Every structure is written in structure tokens, then in C-alpha cells.
Amino acid sequence: MSLEIHLVKGRDKSVRRKHPWIFSRGIARVVGEPALGETVDVFAHNGEWLGKAAYSPHSQIRARMWSFGDKKQNIDVDFFIQRVQQAQLLRDDIIERDGLTGYRLIAAESDGLPGITIDKYDNFLVCQLLSAGAEFQKQALVDALVHCYPDCSIYERSDVAIRKKEGLTERTGVLHGDAPQQPVIIEENGIKISVDIINGHKTGFYLDQRDSRNQAQKYVKDKEVLNCFSYTGGFGLYALKGGASRVINADVSQPALDTARSNAEMNGFKGKQAVFLNADVFKLLREYRDQGTKFDVVIMDPPKFADSKAQLNGACRGYKDINMLAMQILKPGGTLLTYSCSGLMDQNLFQKIIADAAIDANRSVKFVERFEQAADHPTDTAYPEGFYLKGFACRVM
Ligand code: SAH
């Protein structure tokens, strides 16, 4: 019995442009009874076959395209081997250039594997499966990974609330090989970083900020740096390597700060040069402002403030607030390195928010450099939503 979805007239346009999402309102008719995540053939209104997709009966995004235009392509272990090999090939250059033992191997839709994120930390592959299709294909994916990386263990970190929308529950645990010997140490740009695969945020580390961390080094020599939302100290480590005289790392997570401290020690940075503060950044910035404490450089890398369009206005206020405060505690001529990982906030909107913050802080501010997510988080031309992380270096007069 064939499993098919037939699109509403005109709704084939985005599929023909190779966008992977098909929304429920774009589907005219379903043939057969595809199970949660099962593969279906996708047809245009005129009956033309377009490709294969995973069916998500509970989600607004009702189907996600696995492949376009190749009828013989089954969605099986070989398919996943091909996609994984392509993704690895795309990253080989930067892995060598930046000396990486930790990198994003599969960036979901951007690597042609909707709902599947895989980060490689040394000999561990950590998978996050977010869609019904990803879940349905789990065994094929694991088999493909074992084929491509026979020496690696595979661990699942699908503990994300968004799985509910797909009709899935949260899950973590070993998928293949050994349980992680904690912590796993990775290296990037000559810096060692300890990654907690089991309890860390997301899959353990924010690989996406690697290029921005690297760029940050040129702004910090002999400077006093405040690293807000430090997590395990990523930006702080690069700042110390770049010659900062002192770095204050601030975060609300004590386990993250403990790792940040051991990361600093592991890289040979000891003593008063590195400070670790368990503090709410919103409060801390106000305290510094009210006390008149000033910095040469402020790094502002908050968590995602907007998960949906409904949250975007509130997110804008949050970004404006912290960036205004950061400007207020910078010495004249100081540098603000500021980022937003909210995909719903595009670069222009983020730039406007920084401009508003400058007005409110009553400072003259120049954009001197722009940043984006690291190269192992590529954006496919067919899927602009894959571009989510942007940042600015600003000179604050
Ligand atoms: N810059 C980091 C990633 C930051 S992720 C890196 O390069 O690795 C965001 C961090 O913000 C998390 O560690 C989280 O614990 C922290 N956080 C969230 N809300 C906070 C708040 N109000 N004050 C301080 N830290 C906060």
C-alpha cells in the first residue's frame, strides 16, 4: 500500500525550491495511513512526483522532505551514510584549519536531514532527534553512523520540549557503544574544553560561537573583560588566550561555572586573572552601573529570548535592556561584543535594537565588525531559516 501526500494547488512551489517543510494547510489529501514519522511520497496538485518526506501527523509542519527528485532513493541506511559523508566532507577543511576535535557534524535541515542534529565531541557522537521522521529513522541513522565512525560511541540528548509538538517524549541515553567517560575533552583553535555530554546544555557545548570566540581575541589584549552568560567559559578562555588582563565570567549555572573554572586551569590560566561569578546578569549589570564599575570589553551572549513570534516583542525589550546596560558600564572607547541566537530576530532588527540601546544609554556607538554562526553550522540556500546566530563588535564612545 503506497503512502502519499498530495499538495494543495500552488503549494508545490517551495518544495520545488527545495525548502524541506510542508505545512498542514498545504496538504490536500493523504493516501494510506502513514505512521508517526513514516516515509511518504510527495505529489504536486497536478500529480507530478516531487520527492520523499517524513510524515508528522501531530505537527503544524506536517511533513519534512528527505529527498527531492530522485525516485530510486530509498530512505534507508545508505541514504543516511551518503548524507553523513557529504556533511563530513563539507567540514574537513575547517576541522583541519581550526584544529577541531569537537564540531557540528549534522546541522539538521541545513545538511539535508530535517530534525537531526549531531555534534561530534572527540569519540562521541551526540544526537538530538527533534522530528517524528528523525525518530522513525533512528536505527537507520545509528547504523549509518556506526558505518562511518566505527570507533565512536553514540549518545542521545533528545531532552527537548519541542518534541511534544511532534508527538514524541523526551529521551536520553546510549544508542551505541560506551556511556560517556565524563568529561569529554575537545580542542578548538588550540584551546581545550571540557564537555559534559550527559548534563550540559543542548548536546553539551555551544559549538556555534566558535568563530566569534576566535574573533573576540583581537579586542581584548591587556583589557578588563566582562563575559556575560559565560556558560563553561568559552569566550572567557579565548579572551585569556588573547591577552586579557582579567576576565569576569558571569552565569546563573553553578555547574557551568565549575566547568569554566576547570577549563581555565586546564588551559594554564590560574589565579586572579579569571573570576567566576554566580550572578543574574540582568541584576549584575545594574549593580555595576550603580556602583560606577567600568570595563574595557563586555561580551553579551545571552540564551535565546524568542522561541515564537509571540515572544519577539518581549525578546526585543530584553536585548535592548542588556545592551543598554552593557554600554553604560563600558569605558569610553570600549568594545561591546554582542550576539543574538534568536532565529526570529534577523540581523537588521538586531542592529536596530543596538541602535535603540545606544540612544537610551546616551553613547555614540559604531558597528566595527559583524559575526555569524561558525562554519560547521552552514545555511543552505533553500533553507534561510538555518541562519540564526548573528553578532556585532561595537565601539562605544
Ligand atoms: N557564551 C557561551 C554560551 C552562552 S549560553 C559560550 O560561548 O559557550 C547562555 C548561558 O546563559 C547559559 O549558560 C545559562 O546558564 C545562562 N543564563 C541564562 N539566564 C541567565 C541570567 N539571567 N543571568 C546569567 N546567566 C544566565
Catalytic residue among 127, 152, 341, 394: 341
Per residue in 148-181, pLDDT tens?
Answer: 999 999 999 999 999 999 999 999 999 999 999 8
Evaluate if residue 371 carries a pLDDT over 90.
yes
Per-residue pLDDT at 235: 98
Per the prediction, the chain carries an average pLDDT of: 97
Q: Is the pLDDT of residue 263 over 80?
A: yes
Q: What atom in ligand 1 is closest to the CA of residue 284?
A: 23
Cell 538555518 locates to 386
Q: Is the CB of 374 under 6 A from ligand 1?
A: no
Return d(Cα 246, Cα 248) in angstroms, integer. Answer: 7
Centre of ligand 1 from the C-alpha of residue 24, in Å: 35
Q: Could you write out the DSSP letters of every residue in 75-124?
A: SSHHHHHHHHHHHHHHHHHHHHHHT-SEEEEEEGGGGT-TTEEEEEETTE
- Does the Cβ of 253 fall within 6 Å of ligand 1? yes
The CA distance from 35 to 316, in Å, is 40
User: What are the tens digits of pLDDT across the range 12-34?
Assistant: 999 999 999 999 999 999 999 99
Pocket test for ligand 1, best of 231, 232, 237, 373 (most atoms within 8 A of CB): 231
CB atoms within 10 A of CB 265: 11
Query: 171 by DSSP, 3-state: which?
Result: strand
Q: Give me 230's grid cell.
A: 559565560
- Look at ligand 1, atom 18, and give the residue with the nearest C-alpha: 303
Identify the residue with better confidence: 183 or 225.
225
- Cβ count near 243 (within 10 Å): 12
Cα 203 to ligand 1 centre (Å) = 15
Q: How confident is the model at residue 127 (pLDDT cuts 50, 70, 90)?
A: very high
Q: Is 148 a residue of the active site? A: no
Residue 106: its pLDDT value, please?
A: 98
Interval 229-247: pLDDT, tens = 999 999 999 999 999 999 9
Residue 173, sorted as left (phi over 0), alpha (psi -120 to 50) or beta, turns out to be: left
Q: Which atom of ligand 1 is nearest to the CA of 205?
A: 8
Decide if pLDDT at 80 tops 80.
Answer: yes
Per-residue pLDDT, 271: 77
Q: What is the pLDDT of residue 12?
A: 96
Check: CB of residue 101 under 8 Å from CB of residue 114. no
Burial of 63 (C-beta count, 10 Å sphere; 0-12/13-18/19+):
buried
Over 80: is that where the pLDDT of 75 sits?
yes
Tell me: pLDDT of 1 over 80: no
